[in-house]
């Protein structure tokens, strides 16, 4: 088993590097620190951040790939696996022959089974689901025992996280107390005696972790012996597919943003500052792009890409690399059609800022236009860039689901919520109805998008002074 780097792996880890640079900048900037403190003072934002952090962790683990030998390929069914596949263990390679309901021990459809009395039609036992049971009537008791073990394991992890949070909070509180004096120091030390005093967001984080660890512990214990969310048409565990789909959703939201920012920022700043023919050309470009239906543009580009990929199969050693390239191009296409809103926003702000005194003084001092754009104007627009970036994330996740549903999104072999929903479309019309694939995609996508939207609202309220003032005025009323 050797490490293998896909295009999207390299880009997602480069994005992590960019985030670390931004965090370092926030730590060194008092204004940015205060703004982010305002974000995490909201209990909803703190809980949403925990959910997004777990989704990001799963994405990063699933972005470390390995190329396996023939034995591993026969086991996992693919020549390239991720660290998440190794972590999930049996969930990744134990497949049934067809559909099975959540926590079931038998298949969904009847088949001819050979018995000592001759062939009969019955629901055959699953190969892996409930194989530990000698008697199927013991399943309820087995589920309760496993749930109890899951609660204990989740409670242990929650306790460890609680201790770590307490240690961090105590150190930061004492450091803050030593940096002050007088009544402020006494008040800080008094609040430090109560772990939850004056910090409702800390309480929200703790209880969100409690729900995640307890639910995760129960699901993990059940998944060792059952298919918790059932299986799909080819016998693949639906819970495994939903967890793998998180990477696609996060990649679409994050990598598209990474590809959008250079175009949106560069063209928006140039249009607002230089004006004249530069402004006219840039306005013409984004007006033309906005006039083309984005779905048609993406569909045409994906179809042309498919023709090129099919004509050059020698470029890819595995189907995984081919699917990953299609995912990268989908991110690029979404990025090329999503930068226009950010560019228009920045253009309007630069038009107002370019006549302010500090810009005129810098221009009179002989500062070059590029230095003016990126050293004087851009730092004062970072709050708008951050707000636009965070609020665009959930829209991109939903866009991928819609595009994959209509067949112009990711490769059909790529795990995504859109492909799960597309497959569930036919499953809902069969008898008995297979509802668990659609339900799993709906719940996972709902939690992810809802957390992103709530966190984006908190970021907007903290970084946009006008939104903050409006919210405070509404609270007073």
State the average pLDDT over residues 223-245: 89
State the average pLDDT over residues 457-461: 83
Percent of the chain with pLDDT strictly greater than 90 = 14
The tokens 């003072």 sit on which residue? 41
CA distances from 9 to 66, 92, 325 (A): 11, 20, 11
CA distances from 468 to 30, 35, 191 (A): 19, 11, 27
Percent of the chain with pLDDT strictly greater than 70 = 90
Residue 259 pLDDT greater than 90, yes or no: no
Of residues 169 and 136, more confidence is placed in 136
State the average pLDDT over residues 112-128: 78
pLDDT at 365: 83
pLDDT at 49: 92
DSSP states of 53-116 as a string?
A: HHHHHHHHHTT-EEE--HHHHHHHSSSEEEHHHHHHTHHHH---SS-B-TT-SB-SS-EEEEET
State the average pLDDT over residues 21-35: 84
Residue 467 pLDDT greater than 60, yes or no: no
> Three-state SS for 421?
helix
Q: Are strands 111-115 and 118-122 parallel, antiparallel or unpaired?
A: antiparallel
* Cα–Cα distance for residue pair 415/335, rounded to 1 Å: 21
pLDDT, tens digit (0-9, with 9 covering 90-100), for 276-316: 888 889 888 888 888 888 778 888 888 888 788 778 777 77
Phi, psi of 283 (to 5 degrees): -60, -40
pLDDT at 469: 58
pLDDT at 160: 92
Residue 145 host element (H or E): helix 139-178
Which string of b and e fits 68-97 if b means at least 16 CB within 10 Å? beeebeeebebbbbbebbbebeebbbbbbe
Provide the pLDDT confidence category of residue 37 given band limits of 50, 70 and 90.
confident
Residue 260 pLDDT greater than 80, yes or no: yes
pLDDT at 213: 94
pLDDT at 174: 58
The whole-chain average pLDDT of the chain stands at 82
- Other CB atoms within a 10 A radius of the CB of residue 386 amount to 19
Query: What's the pTM?
Result: 0.85
- Other CB atoms within a 10 A radius of the CB of residue 358 amount to 10
* Cα–Cα distance for residue pair 203/196, rounded to 1 Å: 6
> Three-state SS for 375?
helix
pLDDT at 190: 52
State the average pLDDT over residues 239-243: 91
CA distances from 377 to 29, 283, 344, 351 (A): 17, 20, 15, 11
Residue 474 pLDDT greater than 70, yes or no: no
pLDDT at 59: 92
* CA-wise closest residue to 289 among 332, 341, 346: 341
pLDDT at 413: 83
Burial of 169 by CB count in 10 Å (0-12 exposed, 13-18 middle, 19+ buried)?
middle
Residue 452 pLDDT greater than 70, yes or no: yes
What's the distance, CA 371 to chain centroid?
35
Which tokens belong to 417? 């919520």
pLDDT at 180: 59
Residue 35 pLDDT greater than 90, yes or no: no
pLDDT at 153: 93
* CA-wise closest residue to 266 among 110, 184, 385: 385
Residue 472 pLDDT greater than 90, yes or no: no
Determine which of 40-44, 264-268, 354-358 has the lowest per-residue pLDDT on average: 354-358
């Amino acid at each position: 088993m050797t490490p293998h780097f896909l295009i999207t792996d390299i880009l997602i880890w480069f994005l992590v590097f960019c985030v670390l640079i931004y965090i370092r900048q926030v730590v060194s900037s008092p204004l940015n620190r205060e703004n982010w403190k305002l974000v995490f003072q909201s209990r909803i934002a703190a809980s949403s951040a925990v959910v997004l952090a777990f989704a990001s962790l799963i994405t990063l683990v699933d972005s470390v790939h390995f190329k396996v030998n023939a034995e591993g390929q026969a086991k996992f069914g693919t020549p390239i696996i991720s660290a998440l596949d190794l972590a999930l263990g049996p969930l990744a390679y134990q497949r049934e022959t067809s559909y099975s309901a959540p926590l079931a021990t038998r298949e969904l459809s009847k088949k001819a089974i050979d018995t000592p009395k001759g062939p009969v039609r019955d629901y055959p036992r699953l190969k892996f689901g409930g194989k530990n049971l000698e008697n199927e009537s013991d399943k309820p008791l087995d589920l309760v025992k496993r749930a109890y073990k899951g609660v204990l394991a989740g409670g242990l992890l929650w306790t460890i996280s609680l201790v770590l949070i307490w240690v961090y909070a105590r150190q930061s509180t004492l450091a803050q107390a030593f940096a002050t004096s007088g009544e402020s120091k006494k008040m800080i030390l008094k609040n430090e005696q109560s772990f939850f005093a004056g910090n409702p967001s800390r309480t929200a984080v703790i209880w969100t972790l409690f729900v995640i660890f307890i639910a995760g512990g129960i699901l993990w214990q059940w998944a060792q012996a059952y298919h918790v969310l059932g299986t799909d048409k080819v016998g693949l565990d639906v819970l495994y597919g939903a967890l793998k789909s998180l990477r696609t959703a996060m990649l679409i939201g994050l990598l598209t943003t990474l590809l959008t920012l250079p175009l949106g920022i560069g063209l928006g700043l140039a249009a607002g500052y230089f004006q004249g023919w530069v402004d006219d050309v840039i306005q013409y470009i984004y007006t033309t792009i906005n006039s083309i239906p984005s779905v048609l543009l993406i569909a045409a580009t994906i179809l042309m890409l498919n023709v090129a990929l099919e004509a050059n199969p020698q470029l890819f050693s595995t189907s995984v690399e081919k699917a990953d390239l299609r995912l990268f191009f989908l991110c690029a296409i979404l990025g090329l059609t999503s930068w226009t809103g950010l560019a228009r926003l920045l253009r309007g702000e630069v038009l107002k800022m370019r006549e302010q005194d500090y810009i005129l003084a810098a221009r009179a001092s002989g500062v070059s236009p590029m230095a003016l754009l990126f050293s004087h104007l851009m730092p004062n627009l970072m709050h708008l860039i951050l707000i636009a970036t965070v609020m665009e994330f959930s829209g991109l996740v939903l866009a991928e689901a819609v595009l994959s549903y209509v067949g112009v999104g990711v490769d059909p072999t790529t795990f995504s919520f859109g492909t799960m929903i597309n497959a569930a479309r036919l499953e809902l019309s069969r008898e008995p109805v297979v509802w668990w694939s659609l339900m799993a995609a709906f719940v996972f996508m709902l939690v992810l998008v809802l957390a992103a939207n709530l966190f984006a609202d908190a970021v907007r309220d903290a970084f946009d002074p006008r939104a903050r003032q409006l919210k405070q005025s509404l609270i007073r009323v």
